Amino acid sequence: MSHIETRLAELGVTLPDAPAPAANYVPFVVVGNLVHVSGQISQNAGGLIKGKLGADLDVPAGAEAAKSCAISLLAQVKKACGGDMSRLVRAVKLVGFVNSTADFTDQPKVINGASDFLVAALGDAGRHARSAVSAASLPLGVAVEIEGIFEIRP
């Protein structure tokens, strides 16, 4: 077990199987030492985490939805690394989309759910560049979708 998986266990997180793509795309592409992970939607063992921030969900619920996306991102990275999480060097960049009302302005606080989780799981290697933007709607009505770029060892 890698130190990352040990840390995840300490946080009470078990990575699920990497979610399969829902349309005509691949879940990740490895280019050199970078893994580009397709957008991961908010979901957990109970199903999709749906809703609109500023109407149906508050910031803490949105942050939990974003954390679920980060867990799925790491599951995809694990698959890209052939199951060997010790190959993960760092998180490079996240782009977070928040299903929110026109007057909702706390998208960064929502995406902090993913950012804070990655730092908790990866330490300084979890610090990353980031964008957090609003979306009028997201696929299947989910609350959050996040894509990411990660550095890996060969």
Check pLDDT > 90 for residue 153: yes
In a domain, 127, yes or no: yes
Print the SS3 string covering the chain: CCHHHHHHHHCCCCCCCCCCCCCCCCCEEEECCEEEEEEEECEECCEECECCECCCECHHHHHHHHHHHHHHHHHHHHHHCCCCHHHEEEEEEEEEEEEECCCCCCHHHHHHHHHHHHHHHHHHHHCCEEEEEEECCCHHHECEEEEEEEEECC
In a domain, 129, yes or no: yes
In a domain, 10, yes or no: yes
Mean pLDDT computed over 101-122: 98
In a domain, 22, yes or no: no
**Domain with 103 in it:** 3-16+29-152
In a domain, 23, yes or no: no
pTM: predicted TM-score of the whole model, two decimal places: 0.97
Q: Residue 79 is part of a domain; what is its CATH number?
A: 3.30.1330.40
What is residue 1's predicted lDDT score, i.e. its pLDDT? 74
How many domains are there within the chain? Answer: 1
In a domain, 40, yes or no: yes
Q: What is the pLDDT of residues 47-97, one digit of tens each?
A: 999 999 999 999 999 999 999 999 999 999 999 999 999 999 999 999 999
In a domain, 82, yes or no: yes
What is residue 29's predicted lDDT score, i.e. its pLDDT? 98
Q: What is the pLDDT of residues 11-49, one digit of tens each?
A: 999 999 998 888 999 999 999 999 999 999 999 999 999
